[in-house]
Amino acid sequence: MSKFIKYDSTLTDVTAFSGNFDHRELSGRPEFTSGNTYTTIACGFSGARTFEGYNFDSIQGVMLSTVGDIDIFKIGHTIGPLSTVTTLPYLCGGATIDPSIAGYFLTTGTSAGTYTLNTYNSMSVAFPELTATGIIDIVPINAAGFTTLANDINTTITIN
């Protein structure tokens, strides 16, 4: 937490012991914003979706995570095995992840099972063909940490 002077404060307001401060968190981790409305995708879907947020320019990895560590994609043979991670080499200071994250690591590019960094505030995920029903989440990761749609905007993606 950092202290920021409220924009409507006078100098005497902030020199008092109690101060007139806002308390806001400064973070370098990726963060999703409320503009992400992809909450349902049909089984059999294969294509790209764009997600909005902050700090996407520093992303070092992206996972498609499964809720409950279940292999709902049944696509390990096309984009790699289902991974369960408790640590990542690019997290600052070798931080551990507790609880662990299970999912598929995506690569950069434009084919199925990849992600593309469009801008600082935008990233696209090219989903492989979704062959099962269930719930997935997008997990962008950088040195400052990681996030999920569920964590930032209280939503996940349901595959029907």
Cα–Cα distance between 63 and 73 in angstroms, integer? 13
Report yes or no on 111 lying in a domain.
Answer: yes
Q: Which two tokens stand for residue 53?
A: 């947020």
Residue 127 has pLDDT above 70, yes or no: yes
Look at the chain and report how many structural domains it folds into. 1
69 vs 41, more confident:
41
What domain range is 154 assigned to? 28-159
User: To which residue do tokens 């764009």 refer?
Assistant: 50
Reported as a single tens digit per residue, the pLDDT across 13-56 is 555 555 555 555 567 889 998 777 777 888 888 888 999 999 99
The CATH number of the domain holding residue 50 is 2.60.40
Cα–Cα distance between 22 and 10 in angstroms, integer? 14
43 three-state secondary structure: coil
